Amino acid sequence: MTKDNKDGDTKFTHFFDSTLKDYIMNRLNKTLALIALASSSAAFAAVDFDELDIDGSGALSQQEASMGGITSATFAELDTDGNGELSKQEFDNA
């Protein structure tokens, strides 16, 4: 093998290090994406609409939804009709 630079790295070592770094970063990015997806899905899966609907109105206020860990940003996304409440259908679409 020939020397690639004055630090003594070989071409093979440089190629191997670069390939390994790419592989690790790719796997890490995929793992982090899966963790984020699983944690957001798990948060909603663990929450029961009827338990959150404390006043029994058939819809969740933002305050009721926040007790289930639903942030105001997520609430706004789920409130597709913009009436300030989450219907069971809107909640189930999460």
Evaluate whether 75 touches 65 at the Cβ level (below 8 Å): yes
Confidence of residue 25 (pLDDT cuts 50, 70, 90): confident
74 within domain boundaries:
yes
Q: Are residues 35 and 75 in the same domain?
A: no
Q: Using one digit for the tens of pLDDT, what is the confidence trace for 47-85?
A: 788 888 999 999 999 999 888 888 899 999 999 999 999
pTM assigned to the model: 0.51
Question: Whole-angstrom Cα distance, residue 62 to residue 15?
Answer: 54
- Domain limits at 35? 10-46
| DSSP conformational letter for 59 | E
Confidence of residue 39 (pLDDT cuts 50, 70, 90): low
Total of domains in the chain: 2
